[in-house]
A = this chain, B = another copy of it.
Amino acid sequence: MTQPASPATPDASPDAAALEALHAALPGRVSTDPELLRERSLDRSGQRVPGLPTAVILAASVEDVQAACRVAHAHGVPLVTRGAGTGLAGGALAGTGELVLDLSGLTEVLEINAANRLAVVQAGVINAELNARLAEHGLWWAPDPASKAISTVGGNIAMNAGGLLCAKYGVTREAVLGLKVVLADGSVIETGHRTVKGVTGYDVTALMIGSEGTLGVIVEATLKLLTAVTGPTPTLGAAFGSLEEAARAVADVSEAGLVPAAMELLDRPSLDALAAHTGTDAAPGAQAYLLVQTDGVAGAPELEAIAAILSRHGAACSVAADQDEAHKLFALRRELFPSLEGLGGTLLVEDVAVPKDRLAEAFAGIREIEARFGLSIPTAAHAGDGNLHPTFVVPGDEVPEVVWEAASELFALGLALGGTLSGEHGIGLLKRRWLRDELGETQHELQRGIKALFDPRGILNPGKVF
């Protein structure tokens, strides 16, 4: 197996030389303003790395990105690419000796093509802004991360973003036809196709999706669009006496072949945090609260069939009377993160995913870890796809070792249940110490070989993922 190159190790004064070269190649696009350096060195992980980056490159074109890569490659200086910096796994954190390549200025929507159900956009376009434009054409790009109002299409792709709608509408990987990528040395490749089908060589498009800035810089994407879903979205809230019973109900819904647009599960600690934040307990006395939304022409009978299954599991179901009430129910779910932030301190939002028929065991395991480590771990789940977000709420701004130990147990639990370390947030900086456990030694080495092939000098987001 090919050994990956070591991450670039700074020699005498690479920073100064690189900076000079950058200023020459990208006049007016390179900032060393300390305030900007600080701001663009962070993401939403609540973590940081030591020091400040050398400079921020405010790219406004593909050529800018090429120039930045050429300089970084020539000088062996690490390059951390970022979109809006909304990542939760530390993938866009940057520190001493690193350059930040900011793509938020690449905001052009180059094409919206209804006949081919595709759009071509630059990486820095905001997900929600794109979707607002697509809606005018009756079109929709399905990836729906919680961050969609502020996160970029390029960031969504680099992370293979998920969200609430994946069981029915797929993850980002299913919504990308092709990419324009600037490689580490500044050269450009175009991957994939403008067609639904295409099998010419290896699927480098998929390889780039979820690669977290370590293989190349995604500057442009050809997106696969769906017809916008219109009409009512029948919605219910179901209160359960036990979390495990709610989890079993979710598995039964799936087994019955029913695929709601979204199915969100909140545990008691999450409901408590929401109550403290909003003043209202959504499901007083319940141990779990399940929100279900359907859509499309069969939405109403589907919701009815789902309600029947939930009721058999002892749930008290309350169907939203109208779209306004439906909207309010899901708006509550979106308040969870702010509610947990309202508890004070630092949040470590975990992201394991398990097969749906193991959800009950996952929740039981989380309760056991809570008890063993003396921690509270409020947990919400995109239950429709088995993706759990157990969240550690840590006083202060440092994550103590006991929390990492508990997180480690959590990952082991997810893997033991046939699941994965990360459903949608990625590995970034925070989970790399567990990656080998999931991939196995042979595949881990192979993946490092892929990294070395694409980035022989190790300048692209070094220290992340691996």
Contact = CB atoms under 8 A, between A and B. Distances in A.
Contact of A174 (B118, B174, B201, B427): B174
B435 A200 contact: yes
A138 B259 CA distance: 14
Return the 10 tightest CB-CB contacts between A and B, nearest first: A206-B206, A227-B257, A197-B423, A115-B357, A196-B385, A195-B353, A189-B443, A115-B255, A198-B420, A116-B355
A449 B440 CA distance: 22
A387 to B, nearest CB: 5
Contact of A204 (B255, B356, B447): B447
A411 B252 CA distance: 49
Given A198-B420, A198-B423, A446-B454, 13 more contacts: A113-B355, A117-B254, A166-B197, A171-B197, A194-B418, A195-B353, A195-B387, A196-B386, A197-B387, A201-B443, A202-B210, A298-B298, A453-B453
A465 B200 CA distance: 8
Interface string A431-466: 100010011101110110111111010000000011
B443 A385 contact: no
Interface string A392-434: 0000000000000000000000000011111111110001000
Contacts of A30: none
Interface residues of A, number: 92
Contact of A443 (B173, B191, B198, B252): B191
20 contacts: A113-B357, A115-B251, A115-B254, A116-B254, A138-B257, A159-B199, A162-B197, A183-B442, A195-B354, A195-B385, A195-B387, A197-B386, A200-B420, A203-B207, A203-B210, A207-B207, A296-B298, A297-B298, A449-B453, A450-B450
B201 A356 contact: no
Contacts of A207: 202-203, 206-207
B193 A167 contact: no
Contacts of A450: 202, 450, 453
Interface centre among A166, A354, A420, A424 (most CB of B within 10 A): A420
A86 interface: no
Nearest to A248: B115
A209 interface: yes
Nearest to A297: B298
Contact of A189 (B202, B435, B440): B440
B453 A200 contact: no
Given A173-B206, A206-B206, A298-B297, A443 B200 contact: no
A184 B70 CA distance: 35
A126 to B, nearest CB: 21
Nearest to A419: B195
A20 interface: no
Main secondary structure of the interface of A (DSSP, over half): loop
Contact of A2 (B118, B160, B200, B453): B453
Nearest to A202: B447
A219 interface: no
A195 B449 CA distance: 26
Contacts of A451: 202
Contacts of A278: none
Interface string A89-117: 00000000000000000000000011111
Interface in A120-173: 138-139, 159-160, 162, 166-167, 170-171, 173
Contact of A200 (B162, B195, B439): B439
Interface in A1-44: 1-2
A200 B438 contact: yes
A198 B453 contact: no
A70 to B, nearest CB: 14
A118 to B, nearest CB: 8
A325 interface: no
Contacts of A116: 254, 355-357, 386
Contact of A166 (B190, B196, B203, B251): B196
A211 interface: yes
A187 interface: yes
